[in-house]
Structure 1
Amino acid sequence: MTTPDRPVRIAVQLQPQHADYAQIRDAVLRAEDAGVDVVFNWDHFYPLYGEPDGKHFECWTMLAAWAEQTERVQIGALVTGGGYRNPDLLADMARTVDHISGGRLILGIGAGWFEKDYDEYGYEFGTPGSRLALLKDYLPRIDARLKKLNPAPLGDVPVLIGGGGEKKTLRMVAEHASIWHAFGDVETMVRKSGILAEHCAAVGRNPADIEHSTEVSRSDETTANALLDAGFTLFTVGVGGPDYDLAGVRDWLTWRDAVNAG
């Protein structure tokens, strides 16, 4: 296992489904108290598993509440559905949550994929290609709006782009992202990291300036060490409601502290 160039960070994704909001609020508090670095939710309108019409809450209004509730952790969506909101409005929402949180927002965004969200809320689902084209159009609009807003964001709002498409998504990561989030086996992630580096070279960026992020299970430290060797330093553990059991997250925090101690 190599020593990473940037600190290893542990995130928890509190999936906002099958729970009352009081349970989600409590989980956010427990996650921050436990010492995680980032708390994510996700941007869907219906549960992704379990009862398909079960309890579920909206992403960005929740992030505003988390911004007030928390003091230290970064917060964000893993990830915002790119086509769900006008990009200029999304930039303004992000700027507002950034101020509420004191500069702790991560603006996570992706092309979107969950067809039920689109159908039920009246968005055009289209094709993977059309959704990626929309995201490509939205990213510079978000950047431009962030530069126009008064007051401006408190700092540079880090943009996280989720996805692993090698021709289009990774090119957008090279052009716009501070954080890249994807998932797959170690061999796949190493290959995609190499392709991202090629896109970065084409646009004049150092790929080391982009934090590499992925998901981990609750116990697979061997895989995490291999991903660490491949340059990944932000690791997210998904936790579902209604109980939001963080016991496994604490094991990852112990691993993080050991790695960062050298």
Structure 2
Amino acid sequence: MTSRPVRIGLQLQPQHADYATIRRTAAEAEELGVDVLFNWDHFFPLSGEPDGLHFECWTMLAAWAESTSRVEIGALVTCNSYRNPELLADMARTVDHISDGRLILGIGSGWFERDYTEYGYDFGTAGGRLDDLAGALPRIESRLAKLNPPPTRKIPVLIGGGGEKKTLRLTARHADIWHSFSDTDTLRRKVGILGEHCAAVGRDPAEIEISVMGKADSRDKMYEIGARLFTVHAGGPAPDLSELREFLTWRDKLNA
């Protein structure tokens, strides 16, 4: 069993709220003691009014890098399809510097078809998008090593998704954090499969932090399985942080 402390994330969904509300909520979450502040990488709302208010991911992360001082920040998750890998590496390095080393590079293969069709990206197939991610990750790593100035630290990479043949293999090779959307039984199985992929590349699976969406009715079982980063979410028009407060209390009891 991992000895990592529990961490709590807030995914502040960039939908249905003006930016002043988003900025104020980010500040409140940091003041409450959240460990990680995430947004997401989409161009349209994922729930509610489909053409409602929405903002872009990475320009927001750069703003958060300036407006916060302690929390780690990142996307849950960046869509690999939307940016050239070398450009994404440069963006990540820049936000890493703006934030004084608080960026997490969350990335996945993409899934929301409307983003693709309205912004002119080729949607393709799920397998093809995963293959593109497999090709992009070494390019990101290579570019990060060439940039001047280099990142302030080894930027943690979070890979989101649960595909057992491709995604978990990529996680074993490239990720510091694995984010799963699984239920408890599925998570238990996938943790075992991730361990097999780690063994195949000679890596200790304990090096990878297990991240899940925070649900009060399953968090204790998720913790027993090995999850240590639990993320709750809030969105517009009036983000409610009551669930976040409750999870922070739970974290503090476990970490005491």
TM-score normalised over the length of structure 2: 0.99
Q: Which amino acid aligns with 1:167?
A: K
Q: CA RMSD in A?
A: 0.8
Counterpart pick for 1:242 among 217, 237, 248: 237
* Shift, 1:196, TM fit: 0.1
Q: Secondary structure at the match of 1:55?
A: coil
Counterpart pick for 1:29 among 27, 30, 41: 27
2:196 corresponds to 1:198: yes
* Shift, 1:242, TM fit: 1.4
Q: Which amino acid aligns with 1:77?
A: A
C-alpha contact (below 8 Å) 2:77/2:107 kept by paired residues = yes
* Shift, 1:184, TM fit: 1.6
* Shift, 1:183, TM fit: 1.4
Listed as ranges, the matches of 1:44-63 within 5 Å are 44-63=42-61
* Shift, 1:13, TM fit: 0.2
Per the alignment, residue 255 of structure 1 pairs with: 250
Per the alignment, residue 117 of structure 1 pairs with: 115
Per the alignment, residue 156 of structure 2 pairs with: 158
C-alpha contact (below 8 Å) 2:36/2:71 kept by paired residues = yes
* Shift, 1:230, TM fit: 0.5
User: For the residues of structure 1 that align with 2:65 and 2:77, how far apart are their CA atoms?
Assistant: 17
1:68-105: CA deviation from partner (whole Å, max 9, x where unpaired): 00010000000000110000000000000000000000
2:125 corresponds to 1:127: yes
User: For the residues of structure 2 that align with 1:28 and 1:79, how far apart are their CA atoms?
Assistant: 17
Q: Which amino acid aligns with 1:248?
A: E
C-alpha contact (below 8 Å) 2:162/2:182 kept by paired residues = no
Per the alignment, residue 175 of structure 1 pairs with: 173
Q: Which amino acid aligns with 2:108?
A: G
1:115-174: CA deviation from partner (whole Å, max 9, x where unpaired): 000000000000001100100000000000000000000010000000000000000000
User: For the residues of structure 2 that align with 1:113 and 1:197, how far apart are their CA atoms?
Assistant: 26
Q: Which amino acid aligns with 2:132?
A: L
Q: Which amino acid aligns with 2:16?
A: H
Q: Secondary structure at the match of 1:184?
A: coil
Q: Which amino acid aligns with 1:92?
A: D
User: For the residues of structure 2 that align with 1:54 and 1:135, how far apart are their CA atoms?
Assistant: 29
Per the alignment, residue 64 of structure 2 pairs with: 66
Per the alignment, residue 208 of structure 1 pairs with: 206
Instruction: Provide structure 1 residue ranges, at least 5 long, that are not aligned to the other structure.
Output: none
Aligned length: 256
Q: Secondary structure at the match of 1:83?
A: helix
Q: Which amino acid aligns with 1:84?
A: Y
1:175-214: CA deviation from partner (whole Å, max 9, x where unpaired): 0000000112111000000000000000010000000000
* Shift, 1:238, TM fit: 1.1
Counterpart pick for 1:224 among 194, 213, 219: 219
User: For the residues of structure 1 that align with 2:15 and 2:229, how far apart are their CA atoms?
Assistant: 24
User: For the residues of structure 1 that align with 2:204 and 2:220, how far apart are their CA atoms?
Assistant: 23
Q: Which amino acid aligns with 1:228?
A: Y
Residue identity (%): 67
User: For the residues of structure 1 that align with 2:118 and 2:181, how far apart are their CA atoms?
Assistant: 27
